[in-house]
Chain A
Amino acid sequence: MFKHIFSGMLLTLVLASPVFAGSAADDIQIIDPWAREVPPGLTTSAGFLGMKNTGDKAHRLVAAESSNTGMVELHTHINDNGVMRMRPVEDIPVAAGATTTLQPGGLHLMLMMIKKPLKAGEKMPITLIFEDGSKKDIEAEVRHFSMEKMNRMKMGH
C-alpha cells in the first residue's frame, strides 16, 4: 500500500518534471557558450552561445539567471544605419531544427551586477529558462577580448 502511494508520487514527479523527455531543455543543444571578461571596475558584461533546436517543435528562451550576477537580461542590438541600439527582448525564439546564435553585435545575455569579476579561463555558471519552464544549466567560458577573434561581429555601417 505504502509502496503504491510512493511509486504513484514518483510517477507524478517524473511526469511533472521539466527534464522529462520532449521539454525545451531536452531539445535545445548548446553550442560554445562564452562570456566576455570584464575590464577592471565594471560589473556588466555579455554572454553568448548558440542554441540548436533538435526537436520538431519551436522553442523560446524566456529568461536566464546566474548565481554570479544580480540580474541576467535577454538583449539584442538593433543596427540602425550604424547606430547600435541595445534593447531588451521578451524572448529568443529557436525554430524547430534551426539554430539561433547569440553573438557580439546582436543577441546576448546581458550579465548585470556581476558579483565576482569574470577572469579569462574561468567558467561562469548560467541557467537558461525556456517557455515550458524547463531549465538548462550551462557553463560559459570566460574569454579575454584577444580570444574572441573567431566571433564574428555584425555591426558598424
Chain B
Amino acid sequence: MKRLAWPLLVFFIYAAGAHAWSLFSSGKEERYPGMGGDFTLRSAGGDVSLKDFRGKVVLLYFGYTSCPDVCPTSLGALSAALKKLSPDEMAQIQPLFISVDPARDNAKRLQEYSHYFHPKMIGATADLDYLKALAKRYGAYFRKVEVENSSLGYAIDHSSTIYVVDKDGTLTDMIQHSGSTKRILNHIRAVLTEAP
C-alpha cells in the first residue's frame, strides 16, 4: 500500500496541474507542448511565414525534390487525400513542402515540384542551420549522408511525417505512415471538425 502511495500522489499533483493549466490556457490542451511554432521560409512567391496562414490548417512536410521514392509517395498520398476534400474544406487547408536540401532545391524548382502534387501546395526552403532548428522544433529528422558505392553523391536520411498545424498556429497532429491516403484524409478531417 505504502509503495503505491507515492506514485499516486505524484500522479494527482500532475493531473491537477495539467488540469489547472488547461483551464488557464483557454480550455484547449496542447498535444505537443513546447513543439512547433512560427517560422519564415523563402519561396518563388517571396517569403512565406506560418503566421500568414492563421485561420487555416497548415500541413507541413519536410523532404527534398531529388528524393525518388519516399517524398513522391507521401506527397502523392497527400495530394490524393486533398482531392477528396470538398471545396469548402480545401479552402481551410494550406499544404507546405519544406525542402531540407537548399543546396539543390532552388525556389523555382520547389514551386514546380510542389505544384505537380497540388496547385495549392507551396514549396519553400531556408538556410541549412535555420532548417535544422525548425525540424527539431517539429520533431522532424534529416541528415545528409555521403553514400558509398553509388553515383548518388549524397542522400538525405529523413523522417516522413505530415505535421498538422491548426488555425491558431499550434502543432496539433502528426501523421505517420504518410503513404496512406485514407489515413491522411481521416487525420485532416478530424482536425477540421475539432476546430471551429
A interface with B by C-beta (< 8 Å): 36, 39-42, 44-46, 70-71, 73, 77, 80, 82-88, 104-105, 108, 110-113, 145-146, 148-149, 152-157
Contacts and interface: CB of A to CB of B under 8 A. Distances in A.
Interface in B60-105: 65-70, 72-73, 75-77, 79-80
A157 B76 contact: no
Given A46-B68, A104-B73, A156 B147 contact: no
A108 B161 contact: no
A111 B68 contact: yes
A39 B68 CA distance: 10
A39 B69 contact: no
Given A82-B176, A153-B73, A156-B176, A40 B155 contact: no
Interface residues of B, number: 38
B172 to A, nearest CB: 18
B112 A83 contact: no
Contact of A83 (B117, B158, B181): B158
A145 B65 contact: no
14 contacts: A41-B65, A41-B113, A44-B68, A84-B70, A84-B157, A84-B158, A85-B155, A85-B157, A86-B67, A104-B69, A104-B70, A113-B151, A148-B76, A157-B176
Nearest to A78: B157
